[in-house]
Chains A and B, each alone.
Chain A
Amino acid sequence: GENVEQHPSTLSVQEGDSAVIKCTYSDSASNYFPWYKQELGKGPQLIIDIRSNVGEKKDQRIAVTLNKTAKHFSLHITETQPEDSAVYFCAASKVNDKIIFGKGTRLHILP
């Protein structure tokens, strides 16, 4: 079955700098890669997703890149702000199949 590895487990960046979180997946048939943000005491919330027919997608300060050959995908947050502090999860799935998550990255934005 699918296995998703996520790095780093913890990341601290200065406010205003960029943050990058990387994930790899094992099942070459996976074709959907969402990213979720979880704030304390709440369930995760989708922030951006990408399908395997595109290599990059951007939404304001957030971008995701996908390398299907290497089975890598990454989340990039630019101009980080205090409210970006949270736990971020990457995930992978095939259509109409279960969604498998990575172990998460705790992002700290330093003042």
Chain B
Amino acid sequence: GAGVSQSPSNKVTEKGKDVELRCDPISGHTALYWYRQSLGQGLEFLIYFQGNSAPDKSGLPSDRFSAERTGGSVSTLTIQRTQQEDSAVYLCASSLQGGYSPLHFGNGTRLTVT
């Protein structure tokens, strides 16, 4: 079946512009996660949704970052006034119910801020 889909796969933007990254989770998965992976770095937790609510936003790096999820499905991660340090791969994952359910990752969006 279809896996987690992220779009775009690559995004190049100028410093100061806003960007929106989209994640389509696996149908029926109630939990959705966003992670950031910088070059040679691990997976930095950004935000976690259970249904449409975000019980944990503690990983968002600054108030320029926001995320929403609608209809318990699609999620968008928005970065306002992008900076060069925002350049990274942004990974989305979904799981059946959170907790012990395995995460299914998309292939990520590679964001380059010039």
Contact = CB atoms under 8 A, between A and B. Distances in A.
Interface stretch (A55-63, A77-85, A95-103): A95-103
A41 interface: yes
Contact of A101 (B42, B98, B102, B107): B42
Q: Say whether chain B's binding surface is mostly helix, strand, loop, or mixed.
A: loop
A98 B43 contact: no
Contacts, number: 63
B36 to A, nearest CB: 11
A6 to B, nearest CB: 8
B35 A42 contact: no
A46 B43 contact: no
Interface of B: 4, 33, 35, 41-43, 45, 48, 50, 56, 58-59, 91, 93, 97-100, 102-103, 105-108
